Structure 1
Amino acid sequence: MANPHPASEETPSMPDYYYKLPNCESLRAKLCNLDDSSDFRRCQYYLGSDETRNFVVDFDDNGAWCAFNIEKDELSALLDRNTSKPFETRWINIWAPERQVELIQALTTRYEMSHRLGGLMCSDPSRSKKITPVSPKLACDKPHAEHNEGDDLSETTRSGDIESGSRFEKLASVESPTSLEKSKEFDMSGFSFSQLVDKIWHFSSVDYGNEYTCIGYNSLYVVPSVAFKQPPGRPDGKRVWSWLIVCTDGTVISIQENPFAQETLSPDQRQAALKVIRRNTGLILSGISKQHKEKKKQNPLMNTHIRNFSNASSDMRIKEGEGPSLLFYYIFDDWVTNYGLVIGREHSYSSALEKLRTDMLEKPQVDLITDLHGMGRELAILKRLYQSYELIATRILNRQGQMMEQTRRVNTRTASQVRGLHKYTSEPMRNESWRSFPTERDCDESIEDFGLQQIGGAPLKEAALNRIERLADRIRLYALSEIEECLNEKETLTFLVFNLIAIKDSHAVGKLTRSTVLLSKVTILFLPVSLMTSYFSTEIDDLKASYTAKNYWVSFAVIMFLSAAGLSLFGWIHNVIGGKSTHRSIKRHFMQARKALQQRRAKNYS
Structure 2
Amino acid sequence: MDADHPQASTPRPLTSTDPQLPEYYQDIGVTYLLQEFKNLDDRASFELFERAVGNPKTGNFVVDFGDEEAWCGFDLAVDAFNGLLEAKRPAALNTRWINIWYPADHKPTLQEKSPVPSLDLEEGSETTELSSLSELDPLHNINHYSIVDDVWHYSSVDWGRRYVCLGYNSLYSVPTERREDEYPQSHRDLPDGKRVWTWLLLCEDRTVISIHEDPYPYKNGDLDKQEQRALNVIRRNLLNVFRQLSKARNSAKESPLTILPIRKQVGDSKEETLHRPTDAPGLLFYYLFDDWYTSYGLVVKREHQHGAELNQLREAMLQKAELSHVDRLHHIGRQLAVLKRIHQSYERIIDRVLEKQKATLASLTNSNILPGLQREESVSSSQPQIAEAESLLGVSLSSAARVRFERLKDLIRLYALSEIQDCLDQKESLVMMNFNLIAIKESYSVERLTRITLLLAKVTILFMPVSLMTAYFSTQLQDVRFTSHAYWTAFAVVLSASICALMLFGAVSGTLEGRMVVRPLSRVLVDFWRGKVGGSRTGA
* TM-score normalised by the chain length of structure 1: 0.71
The answer as to whether partners of 1:308 and 1:316 remain within 8 angstroms in 2 is no
In the other structure, the counterpart of 1:46 is 52
Counterpart position of 1:330: 287
Evaluate the alpha carbon distance shift between residue 317 and residue 496 of structure 1 in structure 2; reply closer, same or farther with a 3 A threshold. farther
Pairwise mapping of residues 339-418 of structure 1 onto structure 2 (< 5 A)?
339-344=296-301, 347-398=304-355, 400=356, 402=358, 414=372
Any idea what the Cα deviations from partners look like across 1:478-537, whole Å, max 9, x if unmatched? 100000011001100110111011011101111111111111111101011112222323
Contact kept, 8 Å, 2:154 with 2:345, in 1: the verdict is yes
Please list the CA deviations of residues 389-427 of structure 1 after superposition, one character each: whole Å capped at 9, or x if unmatched: 0010011111x364899xxxxxx975x789xxxxxxxxx
AA of the residue aligned to 2:98: I
| Paired position in structure 1 for 2:526 | none
**Partner Cα distance (1:83, 1:365) in 2:** 69
Partner of 2:23: 16
Q: Secondary structure at the match of 1:497?
A: helix
Mapped to 1, the partners of 2:50 and 2:379 lie a distance apart of: 46
| Corresponding position: 1:272 with 2:278 | no
**1:339 Cα offset (Å):** 2.3
Change (3 A) 1:100 1:347: farther
Report what 2:177 is aligned to: 227
Q: Which residue in 2 is equivalent to 1:559?
A: 494
Aligned equivalents of 1:517, 1:364: Cα separation in 2: 28
The answer as to whether partners of 2:173 and 2:298 remain within 8 angstroms in 1 is no
Aligned in 2, Cα 1:576/1:306: closer, same or farther, shift over 3 Å? Answer: closer
Question: C-alpha separation between the residues in 2 aligned to 1:73 and 1:471?
Answer: 38
Q: Is the 8 A contact 2:134 2:141 kept in 1?
A: no
- The answer to whether 1:477 aligns with 2:414 is yes
Query: Within the alignment, does 1:289 sit opposite 2:246 as a pair?
Result: yes
Amino acid corresponding to residue 261 of structure 1 in structure 2 = P
* Match 1:245 to one of 201, 217, 232: 201
Corresponding residue for residue 542 of structure 1: 478
Query: Are the aligned partners of 1:280 and 1:334 in contact in 2 as well (CA < 8 Å)?
Result: yes
Contact kept? 2:199, 2:210, Cα under 8 Å: yes
**Aligned residues of 1:71 and 1:103 also touching (Cα < 8 A):** no
Distance verdict in 2 for CA 1:509–1:311, change over 3 Å:
closer
Partner residue in 2 for 1:575: 510
Aligned length: 480
Mapped partners of 1:361, 1:377: distance in 2: 23
SS of the residue 1:216 aligns to: strand
Change (3 A) 1:182 1:270: closer
Q: What's the counterpart of residue 306 of structure 1?
A: 262
The match for 1:216 is 167
- The alpha carbon displacement at 1:313 in A equals 5.4
Change (3 A) 1:480 1:263: farther
- CA shift in 2, pair 1:517/1:328, >3 Å: same
CA 1:457–1:401 in structure 2 vs 1: closer, same or farther (change >3 Å)? Answer: closer
- Residue 206 (structure 1) aligned with residue 157 (structure 2): yes
Structure 1 residues 309 and 550: CA distance shift in structure 2, 3 A: closer
1:33 pairs with 35, 39, 44, which one? Answer: 39
Measured on the aligned residues, the alpha-carbon RMSD in Å equals 3.7
* Cα 1:440–1:320 shift into 2, 3 Å: farther
Name the amino acid aligned to 1:286. R
| 1:224-279 per-position Cα deviation (integer Å, ceiling 9, x unaligned) | 4x536872121111000000011111111110011002779852223212211111
Cα displacement string for residues 286-334 of structure 1 (whole angstroms, at most 9, x for unaligned residues): 1111022x33132121122112569965674962311111111111111
Q: Distance in 2 between matches of 1:318 and 1:195?
A: 42
* Aligned with 2:66 (options 45, 60, 65): 60
Contact 2:173/2:297 (<8 A) preserved: no
* CA separation of 1:583 and 1:465: change in aligned 2, threshold 3 A: same
**C-alpha deviations, 1:94-146, integer Å up to 9, x for none?**
1121232113334546xxxxx69xxxxxxxxxxxxxxxxxxxxxxxxxxxxxx
Counterpart-to-counterpart distance in 2, 1:495 and 1:506: 16
Instruction: Tell me how far apart the structure 2 counterparts of residues 78 and 227 of structure 1 sit (CA, whole Å).
Output: 42
What amino acid sits opposite 1:15 in the alignment? P
**1:150-193 Cα distance to aligned partner (Å, 9 max, x none):** xxxxxxxxxxxxxxxxxxxxxxxxxxx99x96867x43454332
- Write the mapping of 1:248-259 to structure 2, written as runs, cut at 5 A: 248-259=204-215
Residue 346 of structure 1 and its aligned partner are, at CA, apart by 7.4
Contact 1:55 1:69 in 2 (8 A): yes
State whether residues 62 and 98 of structure 2, in contact with CA within 8 Å, keep that contact through their aligned partners in structure 1: yes
- Mapped partners of 1:440, 1:532: distance in 2: 130
Given the two structures, how large is their TM-score scaled by the length of structure 2?
A: 0.80
Alpha-carbon contact 1:306-1:318 (below 8 Å) kept: no
Q: Which amino acid aligns with 1:473?
A: D
Q: CA 1:266–1:73 in structure 2 vs 1: closer, same or farther (change >3 Å)?
A: closer
Which whole-Å deviations, capped at 9, do the CAs of 1:518-570 have from their partners, x for residues lacking one? 111111010111122223234x4627x62222222122112112211211221
Superposed, 1:405-444 pairs within 5 Å as: 414=372
Partner Cα distance (2:434, 2:218) in 1 = 39
Distance between the aligned counterparts of 2:294 and 2:191, measured in 1? 14
Residue 351 of structure 1 and its aligned partner are, at CA, apart by 2.7
Match of 1:91 in 2: 97
Q: What residue ranges of structure 2 are gaps of 5+ in the alignment?
A: 1-6, 118-128, 362-369, 521-540
Answer with 367-376 or 234-243: which moved more: 367-376
Percent sequence identity over aligned pairs: 41
Give the gaps of 5 or more residues in structure 1: 110-114, 117-176, 406-411, 419-436, 586-606
**Cα contact 1:31–1:65 (8 A) shared by 2:** yes
Q: Is the 8 A contact 1:97 1:104 kept in 2?
A: no
Structure-2 change in CA distance of 1:269 and 1:473 (3 Å) = same
1:236 equivalent among 175, 186, 192: 192
Query: Structure 1 residues 504, 345: closer, same or farther in 2, change over 3 A?
Result: closer
